[in-house]
Structure 1
C-alpha cells in the first residue's frame, strides 16, 4: 500500500526551508487487471502551477484523487505537506444550503461566515452570498467552488477540469481570476485539463501522462499574461499537441 503523509516527516524536516507541497515516488494504481498508473514520480513546489494533460482514461483524475486523499488504494510513496483543497469539474454545491453556507461548510475558522463572505467578495460573488446554488449561472457556480477551495488557504490546490463546462467568454474570465488568486496566495497548483491552450496560458510546467507514466514535461517560461499568437506560445502548443498524438491543426 502507498504511504500517505499529511505532516512533515523527519526527513522532510531536515530538508530545505521550503520543501515541496507534494512529493510522489513510484506511485502505482490499478483497477482490477488494468494498470492505470505505473511508477509516477512528481514534485510540486509551493507557488508552482503545474498542468497535467493526457488522453481520456490516461489516469489524470486518478492521480489528482490520490493527491487529494480520496483514493488510498495505490502503491508507492505520496507525501503532502499542509492543507489541500479541490475544485472539481462540477461545482458540487449543496443545493439546500445558500451560497454563503456552502462556502463556510466544514470550515475550521474562528468566524467561518466572515471568512466565507470575504472569499466570495474575492471571486466577485459578494452580492450572491444569500442566493440558492440552483440560481447561479455556470460561471458563478465555478466562482463559488473556487471560493470554497481558497477560503481554506490551501498549500496545495487541485483543479480537476473545473473550466471544461464553461462557455468560451466565461472561461477567459475564470482563467484570469484563477491567475490573480494564485499570484496573490501562491499555493502549489495541479490543474488537470484536456485543453493545451489552457495549460500554456496558466501553468509553469505542463506534464503529459501516457502509458501510466509522465511521458513528457515542458517548462513554460513565457511572461504573464500570455498571448496565443506569441511565436513561443505557438511552438510550445505544437510540441504538446505532438506529444498528445494530435495534429497541430486539431485540438486536445
Structure 2
C-alpha cells in the first residue's frame, strides 16, 4: 500500500467520479529484458481529477504514461480508460509542413473540425496564429498549440509528459496558469508526469511518487488554488516528497 505523506494532507478521498473512473490500472507490469520497470502497479484516476506523478529518472513514469496512452502494448495486467485519451509531450511535436490549424485537425474526424480547432486556439491565446508555420512559433506558443491539439479532441484523460520542462521560468508560470484554466473549463482527468516537486504541488489535487515500479507514496493536497510555495502545509509536504524521492532538504548533507 502506498504510504501517506505528512503535510497539508488528508486521507485520500473518493475520486470525484460518477461511475467508472477515468483510468484504472490493476497489477500493471512492464519488463524490458530482465528489468522490471512497472511491477504489478495499481492506480485509479477519477474523472476530473488532476494527478501529478513524481519519480526518479528511470522510475517508469513515462512508461506508465505510454501504456495509458495506448502507445505500449507490451504490458501485462489490466488497464482501462473511460473515454478518449490525448497526450501533450515535452516537445510539442507539431508537424512542421502543416500550419498550426492543420496540426490540430490532423486525424480529427469530427464535423466542423476547422471551427473546433479555431475555438481551441482561441482558448490558448493563439487565434491569430492559426495560419502560422510551426517553426515560426516561440517555445511557449508551440506548447500552447500542443495543448490546443490535445484539448480539441475533448479527452476524458489528458496525459502531460513533462510539457513545461523546456520552457523558461516566466513562460512556465504562464503555461501553468493556462493549464489550470483549461482544466477548470473542460474538466478532463489529468495525469502530469514531472520531475518538479513544486510544479506538482502547485497544480495537482493528488501527488504520487513512483518507486520500485509501484506507487510508493501518495498525498492529497487540500490547499485551495492559487497556491504559494511558502504555504506552511505545502512546505511540510514538499520536504516529505523530496525525502520520498531520496533528496535531502536544503541545508542538509
TM exceeds 0.5? yes
Displacement, 1:228?
0.9
1:86·1:149 contact (CA, 8 Å) conserved in 2?
yes
Relative contact order, CA 8 A, sep 6+: which one is greater?
2
Q: Could you say which residue in structure 2 is the equivalent of 1:203?
A: 204
Q: Could you say which residue in structure 2 is the equivalent of 1:182?
A: 183
Number of equivalences: 235
Two-structure CA RMSD over aligned residues (Å): 1.0
What are the ranges of 5 or more consecutive residues in structure 1 without an aligned counterpart? 1-15
Q: Could you say which residue in structure 2 is the equivalent of 1:228?
A: 229
SS of aligned partner of 2:178:
helix
The normalised TM-score by structure 2 is: 0.91
Structure 1 runs, 4 residues or longer, greater than 6 Å off: none
The C-alpha deviation readout for 1:87-108, integer Å capped at 9, x for no partner, is 0000000000000110111112
Displacement, 1:233?
1.2
Structure 2 Cα separation of the partners of residues 249 and 200 of structure 1 = 17
Q: Could you say which residue in structure 2 is the equivalent of 1:59?
A: 60
Structure 1 Cα separation of the partners of residues 175 and 32 of structure 2 = 34
Q: Could you say which residue in structure 1 is the equivalent of 2:90?
A: 89
Displacement, 1:86?
0.3
Is structure 2 residue 62 aligned with structure 1 residue 43? no
Structure 2 Cα separation of the partners of residues 199 and 245 of structure 1 = 17
Q: Could you say which residue in structure 2 is the equivalent of 1:161?
A: 162
Structure 2 Cα separation of the partners of residues 25 and 18 of structure 1 = 17
Displacement, 1:248?
1.9
The normalised TM-score by structure 1 is: 0.92
SS of aligned partner of 2:86:
strand
| 1:84-163 equivalences in 2 (<5 Å) | 84-163=85-164
SS of aligned partner of 2:181:
helix
